[in-house]
Structure 1
Amino acid sequence: MIYQGFAYIYDHLMEDAPYDDWITLIEKAIIAYHPDVRKILDVGCGTGAITLRLAEKQFDVTGVDISEDMLTVAQSKLADNHVQSTFLLQDMRELTGFDNAFDLVTICCDSLNYLENEADIQSTFSRVYTQLAAGGLFIFDVHSVYKITDIFPNEFFAEQDEDISYIWKSYCGEHQNSIEHDMTFFVNQDDYYVRYDELHYQRTYSVEQYSAWLEAASFEILRICGDFDFNQTPTSTTERVFFVARKK
């Protein structure tokens, strides 16, 4: 999924997202499994919310995203906060060309769920493995099957204010454990409203399937936890699943 006009209103829609909880979980994983982490590759970085927070903690962070518009917003955000980072336009399925290996690769905010099929995920895991230094960590999160099949379908969200109004509908996708988000936005620009339409597709798989793909890519699975709780094993009603793996 390549965000277009959506990139410029994404932060408004996500202003209540628990980004600090992502950082807390990442830091716990670093302390537990690789205290020497310095270089981080933030894949699917979007508008840089996670990248910014990691850079503020003095990590050397490179952000990668498939959307040029998202990266433009991210660069502006870090500049406004007087924080430096490198941003590159790349597809997570084709990560390549980095000069040095990374200590940690992250794919946060369910970005992995935007990949369309199993081959895409397997390719991404393989590429991540290649970019990591020996013993490097790979941390990512995904929507659970429960969230995709029981929470999202037929959800309807709407908001109206002076700057941005939107209608957001979610319904089951064509494939098993997939969801489509149909969104219409009206953005106030110089006293008239511009309409943007976006259709976003997400797909997930079982914990067992993600684990099998990680192991096939030669990762060692260190921890699987749920809903931002580093010590919580995922349950049947967990909505977000986190994986921590290490390059063998």
Structure 2
Amino acid sequence: MPSNPSPRKEAQLLQEFYNAFATHYDSFYELIDYEAWAALIQRELDEWLPGSRCILEAGCGTGAVLQEIAGDPQQTCIGMDISRAMLDICQKKSFVKQRAALVQSDLLSLSFQEASFDAVLGIFSLLNSYSHAARGLMLQEIRHVLKPGGIFLTDFATAHRYHELRAAAERHEETSHSEPAFNLHQIFLAEPKIEPHAQTEVSLHDRFVIDRTLNTNKHTARHRLYFFEAEHLAAEFSAAAFEILKIIPLLHHSSAPAPNRLMLIGRKPCSDSTLKSSMNVSRNFVSKTA
């Protein structure tokens, strides 16, 4: 893998990885309580978008969350993923024909018209799969397809989660997963040494990185996971002209110093005249939650 892959190369690597992993994905994540996860998402949708709404789930994968949210009669749902193999598995599930449409597309170049959706969902660490540069492009694309006043709801693993995983790896835990059909291995890249006078936006955002390598009987595929702080992601949302509505801790053990997963909800301003005030609100929100 290139030391610093371009956003387009990142998207290509993700596509290759999930095309190779698709047949193993549902069994690998079978213990996740998708129903409870979707219920939390649904509560936020009902709070911020009362009435009927059109929803895009970006990175829908094999459709576990899409299946739950598509059951609400107020919602028209479209699932989108970069991986054709993941969508092929989703397509075979009975709910799709009646309640959802599926589209293959790249988050860095979405194939939808401007202002198509009331909400875009990016669930299960979608943003962790992209570097700071790629997330900037993605947020621009998501903002473009949102209607004025529409929301982007996403969750992400924090830098605290990275440190948890790294500590486990040092104890020789959670570094790999092996089954007869595949092996998934994680390598923790060396954290760059950054002098205070040499700090840049990129160095602050892409410090905590894991290389994931998947080996199956037929394929080897790799991609990276990036971990970051809430204030850094909120700053990216603000730079992309989103108003930060809410940051919600999702997983926070009582003994942990910080949550290892957060949900962030951003809103596209209703008009350009509100953009400046929305960005100021976002900055103030970040300072209170940092």
**Cα shift at 1:38:** 1.7
Do structure 1's residue 247 and structure 2's residue 247 form an aligned pair? no
Question: What is the rounded CA distance, in whole Å, between the counterparts of 2:46 and 2:154 in structure 1?
Answer: 17
Aligned residue in 1 for 2:245: 222
Question: Does the aligned pair in 2 maintain the 1:228–1:242 contact within 8 Å?
Answer: no
Counterparts in 2 of 1:1-248, with a 5 A limit? 1-2=14-15, 3-58=18-73, 59-77=75-93, 79=94, 83-98=98-113, 101-115=116-130, 117-152=131-166, 154=169, 155-158=174-177, 160=179, 165-173=181-189, 176-185=207-216, 194=217, 196-227=219-250, 236-248=257-269
CA RMSD after TM alignment: 2.4
User: Scaled by the length of structure 2, what TM-score is found?
Assistant: 0.72
Contact 1:140–1:243 (8 Å) recurs in 2: yes
Per-residue deviation, 1:130? 1.1
Greater fraction of residues in strand: 1
| Gap runs ≥5 in structure 2 | 1-13, 191-205, 270-290
Q: Is the 8 A contact 1:158 1:165 kept in 2?
A: no
Task: Sort the Cα spacing of 1:12 and 1:168 in 2 relative to 1 into closer, same or farther, 3 A.
Answer: same
What's the CA shift for 1:81?
6.8
* SS of match in other structure, 2:51: coil
Structure 1 residue 223, shift from structure 2 partner: 0.6
Between stretches 175-184 and 79-88, larger displacement belongs to: 79-88
Give the conservation status (yes or no) of the 8 Å contact 2:115–2:144.
no
Larger Cα-atom Rg: 2
- Secondary structure at 1:134 match in 2: strand
Query: For the structure 1 residues 240 and 211, does the alpha-carbon distance in structure 2 shift closer, same or farther, using more than 3 Å as the test?
Result: same
- Paired residues in the alignment total 231
Segments of structure 1 that go 5 or more residues without pairing to the other structure are: 186-193
Q: Aligned residues: percent identity?
A: 25
- 4+ residue stretches of structure 1 with deviation over 6 A? none
TM-score of the superposed pair, with normalisation by structure 1: 0.83
